[in-house]
Amino acid sequence: MQKKAELYRGKEKTVYFTDDPNLLVLEFRNDTSALDGERIEQFERKGMINNKFNYFIMQQLEQTGIPTQMERLLSDTESLVKKLTMIPVEWVIRNRAAGSLVKRLGIEEGRLLEPPIFDLFLKNDTQHDPMINESYWLC
């Protein structure tokens, strides 16, 4: 499948058109961001891990009868997916305190979070990704 022009560039992933108008390429980058993208760092192999984890989750959903957009892996960092309309929700799994969580709660950066915190946000950069869930449990 031929990757064409860039359709969208997010904080950690880039979406490309392909020669098929119904398919896109997702490229998972090694970028990680905090504070609405003000702080961007590189983590070696992050793109590969996110791509393969995403593929694993999509396979699990498919096996239970839930259709997904996944077609196939193209490389360590790229997947071929069906072109769909995105539901603008961002799910963040936090294992350590960083970024907006530290700012919002005033806790120590790097604090281990056991169990991890699952945050849901409306994906809207102009509104600084407003939170959908309203409560936390910190140990």
- Whether the pLDDT of residue 137 is over 60: the answer is no
Beta-strand runs (E) in the chain: 3-9, 13-18, 23-28, 31-34, 39-42, 70-73, 78-82, 89-96, 112-122
Q: In this structure, what DSSP letter does residue 125 have?
A: G
Domain range list for the chain: 3-82, 89-127
Token readout for 14 is 């880039």
CATH 3.30.70.80 fits 3-82, yes or no: no
The band of 138, judged by pLDDT with boundaries at 50, 70 and 90, is very low
The whole-number pLDDT of residue 139 equals 39
- Cis before residue 115, ω within 30 degrees of 0? yes
Work out the pLDDT band at 105, boundaries 50, 70, 90.
confident
Percent of the chain with pLDDT over 70: 91
Average pLDDT for 59-78: 97
Looking at residue 64, its pLDDT comes to: 97
pLDDT average, residue stretch 95-104 = 85
